[in-house]
Structure 1
Amino acid sequence: MAAPAGARLLACCLSALTTMAAVSLAVAAGGGVRMTDEVDILWGPTQLINGSDGDQTVGLSLDRVMGSGFKAKKSYLFARIDIDIKLVAGNSAGTVTTVYLISEGQWKIHDEIDLEFLGNVTGEPYTLHTNIFANGSGGREVQYRLWFDPTQDFHTYSILWNSDQILILVDDIAIRRFKNHWDAGVPFPVYQPMRLNGVLWDAEDWATQGGRVKTDWSQAPFTAYFRNYRATGCEPSGVAWACGQDPSGGDWADGGAAGLDDVRQQQQLREAQERYTIYDYCTDSVRFPDGGFPKECGLP
């Protein structure tokens, strides 16, 4: 495999070959989405709720026996992913509702972008736990308290992933950005397609208040609801690097098109850092003593 810096240069030379990469619009925004047209149910107790306008909601449930999950039918190399989620209500301690992008090759070099919603006791807030793996390397956790109750209604959670950076958004508000600093020696997911998965599972040993609060199985089954999965991205076919060079691809193909230097978005990221962030690996001096933070923590 060529070094990513060289590969990005090669991609520029391959821009004329972008027709060899199939650009897929999984669903048009605003239309009724039948979830089972876009995802496959993998295991566990699930519900399918059909709406009057043709949309469909998937309910993933967790009981003492097992959780449940789905995965998208299509994988992408760079994409904008949006999905609406209504989290487990009431005493959700010990439960984790997760949506994540993950590659499907060798685990030791896998790429992954995680959004994990850590349940809590009734009346206490959820924690949104985010993490990014590149080339098998993770440990990039940032956690947030949301500014609303995510159990009362559906909210939209989004991942924008292109060759320049990863952006995580909540209701179209940017909360986290992870830039591509591969040229500085920081791994970044640039060559492996990834697929969306959704899972509801039990993690009582660590999920709630550090594992001090366990799952109350008398409240089971626990159910989280998912709808309106939308994916706009590139399905690589032949020349994978062409995915980063399609001029019609929009923000998933070209970081400059995403408005990521927009003043409003910069303000959103600052506000998320100042008001809603409860843990950031880049400021954890106990985990990284003597200033030994990961390289990306000191890069702009």
Structure 2
Amino acid sequence: MALLLFITVIFMIPSSSAYGPPSPGYWPSSKFRSMNFYKGFRNLWGPQHQTLHKNELRIWLDKTSGSGFKSVRPFRSGYFGASMKLQPGYTAGVISSLYLSNNEAHPGFHDEVDIEFLGTTFGKPYTLQTNVYIRGSGDQKIIGREMKFHLWFDPTQDFHRYALLWSPKEIIFFVDDVPIRRYPRKSAATFPVRPMWLYGSIWDASSWATEDGKYKADYRYQPFVARYANFKASGCSAYTPARCHPVSASPYRSGGLTRQQYAAMRWVQRYHMVYNYCRDPKRDHRLTPECLHSH
């Protein structure tokens, strides 16, 4: 009986990956004020698929169109974030995103930093894809730097905070203030330096979004809705003087992360990362030289 009880208890104790991450000890989102959507952004496409109520934005995709928005100002560094809540159920082929880009200013030769939720099939988790493009293009020569995660919570159940910090030294991706990825500047050739705008969108990427395109968007489940709130875009705009000091994601004014933040990030990457481009044997890592020195 005692042995049976012991075995039962063992199975009831969740693995460490079932808990949330260790505390990062510092919450960058608390350092930046939320903004009124219309003060900082404008509709970019699909205006008929975008509504705002009490500063909660809803954008949706159906078989006629998706929708997207864009910050009014371009930035050269800053903290960019929003709370998001995703559509439950079958969402294969659908991408809900928050990202920095200058693709309209530099078509075919742009920079981009992405937080993208790749839709999924019934019973499977969303994939959060982070990506960095440097002077990429749409001509199949684009070099992605993807890291993908399955989160430690269900992003359809509630709003959670997602953010990017972009400074001249580094790019850091956050989920609920926990850093999940740090992309340091190792050379000018592997880091975006030109001004970018903040965007959000929902669109049909059936050709690749879910299991490399195996599952497509199914419009029997339309509309697919992405909800956004607590918009934040703080930092050095492209119009501020050169002396504008980049914001930090830690108590250190010079940037970087604390030991506690690194510990939280290591936990996420150990238990929740499902793809790392630097560890993909099918990739030609001469095209991503930063991988040659990563561990």
**Shorter-normalised TM-score: what interval?**
0.7 to 0.9
Match of 2:212, SS? helix
5 Å-filtered alignment, 1:1-300, equals 29=32, 33-44=35-46, 45-51=48-54, 56-103=55-102, 104-136=104-136, 138-182=143-187, 186-190=189-193, 192-237=194-239, 242=242, 245-247=243-245, 249-251=246-248, 256-257=252-253, 260-288=256-284, 292=286, 294-299=288-293
Match of 1:209, SS? coil
Tell me how far 1:86 sits from its aligned partner. 0.7
Contact 1:169–1:176 under 8 Å retained in 2: yes
What is the CA–CA distance in structure 1 between the aligned matches of 2:255 and 2:105, rounded to whole Å? 32
Q: How many residues align?
A: 258
Q: Which runs of 5+ in 1 are unaligned?
A: 1-26
What is the CA–CA distance in structure 2 between the aligned matches of 1:246 and 1:198, rounded to whole Å? 26
Q: Which runs of 5+ in 2 are unaligned?
A: 1-29, 137-141
For residues 95 and 101 of structure 1, do their structure 2 counterparts lie closer, same or farther at Cα, with a shift above 3 Å needed? same
What is the CA–CA distance in structure 2 between the aligned matches of 1:271 and 1:238, rounded to whole Å? 37
* Amino acid aligned to 1:297: C
Q: Which residue of 2 aligns with 1:22?
A: none
Tell me how far 1:29 sits from its aligned partner. 4.3
Q: Which residue of 2 aligns with 1:9?
A: none
Tell me how far 1:200 sits from its aligned partner. 0.4
Point out 4+ residue stretches in structure 1 off by more than 4 angstroms: 27-31
What is the CA–CA distance in structure 2 between the aligned matches of 1:222 and 1:29, rounded to whole Å? 30
Instruction: State TM-score, norm by structure 2.
Output: 0.80
* Amino acid aligned to 1:64: K
Match of 1:111, SS? strand
Tell me how far 1:165 sits from its aligned partner. 0.4
Q: Which residue of 1 aligns with 2:3?
A: none
What is the CA–CA distance in structure 2 between the aligned matches of 1:79 and 1:219, rounded to whole Å? 37
Tell me how far 1:295 sits from its aligned partner. 1.5
What is the CA–CA distance in structure 2 between the aligned matches of 1:123 and 1:173, rounded to whole Å? 25
Tell me how far 1:65 sits from its aligned partner. 1.3
Q: Which residue of 2 aligns with 1:6?
A: none
**Cα deviations across residues 209-236 of structure 1 (Å, max 9, x unaligned)?**
2211122211111111111111111123
Contact 1:164–1:255 under 8 Å retained in 2: no
Match of 2:171, SS? strand
Contact 1:43–1:70 under 8 Å retained in 2: yes
What is the CA–CA distance in structure 1 between the aligned matches of 2:240 and 2:57, rounded to whole Å? 34
**Cα deviations across residues 182-210 of structure 1 (Å, max 9, x unaligned)?**
16xx42112x1110111100111211122
Instruction: State TM-score, norm by structure 1.
Output: 0.79
Percent of aligned positions that are identical: 36
What is the CA–CA distance in structure 2 between the aligned matches of 1:69 and 1:273, rounded to whole Å? 30
Contact 1:135–1:187 under 8 Å retained in 2: no
Q: Which residue of 1 aligns with 2:23?
A: none
Contact 2:32–2:234 under 8 Å retained in 1: no
